[in-house]
Every structure is written in structure tokens, then in C-alpha cells.
Amino acid sequence: MAQLSNLYLFLYNSLQSVGWAVALFRVLSNFVVTKSIDGAYASAGELICLLQTVAFLEVIHGAIGLVPSGALLPLMQWGGRTHFLLAIVRGIDEVQELPSVFITFLAWSLSEVIRYPQYALSCLGHCPYWITYLRYTAFIVLYPIGMAPGEMWLMYQALPYIKEKHLYGDSLFGLPFSYYNFVQAVLLCYPLLWLKLYLHLFKQRKSKLAKQHGKKKKKKM
């Protein structure tokens, strides 16, 4: 059973690695060809939406104990990204060519083409130290870039369109609901929720790199 679980996780993480590598290639190649950052969503948006939707499996992995992450933090990350992608970027044509989309897609893609290969190789038990080090170091720069000038700035820019279009109506399950007010509330809460995840990643970094360093010492001995 453990071998089957490892095989499944290896295949899942490998497929995500390929998908995000293709997304990164599309974003960068579009930028090189057009010399513009306006076409990030047109070039890779639908693929990134698919990859992010499928990533809900990672919440399930944590919930059933397939991986030790638990379900809460993966759910927070998945929910924040998916709302940003499907409800705002995909749902509002006017924001799809804004620079914030390019910044977000670039930061996400770079972090995922590091994260997923590291997970996949770890399933095999043969992940080089430098990949693990990169996995638990690159986020220090990439996560703040994806969050502030990326996700949060774009949500703020989307507010006038949400209000003008009366997006998603006035009720939810028969209860009064304003999506415009909801996004404003999300913008207020976002830094706190993001900080919780960011600090958790620093704890993970300390723990994972210490383990890897210990393994390297044993090998040398």
C-alpha cells in the first residue's frame, strides 16, 4: 500500500511539474515574442486554471493522511488561488491583460516548477540537496511577489468592474450577499492569512533543511 501511495504521488507531482513547466514556457515565450506582458492570461490562463483546480487533490491528500501536511493550510492556499483565478481573473475579461496577471503567473509558475519536482523526487527517495534547498528558499522571494503586486493588487484593480457589472448578484443561497463587499473583506484579511502560511513555510524550511543536512553528514561519514 505504501508503494502504491508513493507511485501515485510521484505520478501526480510529475504531471503537475510538466503542466507548470508548460505554463511557464507559454508565459515567457509570449513575452519574448510580443515584447509585452499583456498576453499572460491568453497564453497560459486556461492551463493554469486547470492545474489549480486539479490541485484540490492536495487538500484531499492531507485530509486522508497520504501526506503529513494536514488539510487546513493546503485548503487555505488552494482556496485563495482558486478564487483569484476563477472568480476574478477568469470571470472579468477587463483584468486579464493587466500587469498583475503576468506577475502572478510568473511567480506561481516559477515556484511550482521547483516545488513539484522536489515532491516527485522525494517520493523516489532520491532528491538532490540543491533541489530541496531551492524549494525551501525560493518561496522567500516568490511568495511576496505573487501576493502583493500580483494577487492583492489585481483584486483591488478588479473592484470597479465588480461593482459596475454587479458581479455574482445580491444573494447567495437566498441570503443577502455583496460580492463587492466580500472582495473588500478578502483584501483586508488576505495579508493575515497569507502571513500564517508564509511563517509556516519558514518553519518547514528550518525542519526540512536540517534533516537534509543531517543526511548529507551521514553519507560523508
Give the torsion sign (CA, 106, 198, 186, 83): positive
Alpha carbon distances (Å) from 179 to 33, 86, 87, 183? 37, 14, 10, 6
CA distance 107 to 65: 29
Catalytic-role residue among 151, 179, 180, 190: 151
Task: Cell numbers for 21, please give them.
Answer: 513547466
CA distance 136 to 202: 8
**Is 179 one of the annotated active-site residues of the chain?**
no
**Is 164 one of the annotated active-site residues of the chain?**
no
Task: Cell numbers for 68, please give them.
Answer: 503529513
Contact criterion met (CB below 8 Å) for 147 and 100 = no
**Residue 152 gets which letter from DSSP?**
I
**Residue 172 gets which letter from DSSP?**
E
Residue ranges of alpha helices (H) inside 125-178 are 129-145, 153-165
Task: Cell numbers for 180, please give them.
Answer: 463587492
Catalytic-role residue among 143, 179, 180, 190: 143
Q: How many CA atoms lie within 13 A of 22 on its CB side?
A: 13
Active-site residue list? 143, 151
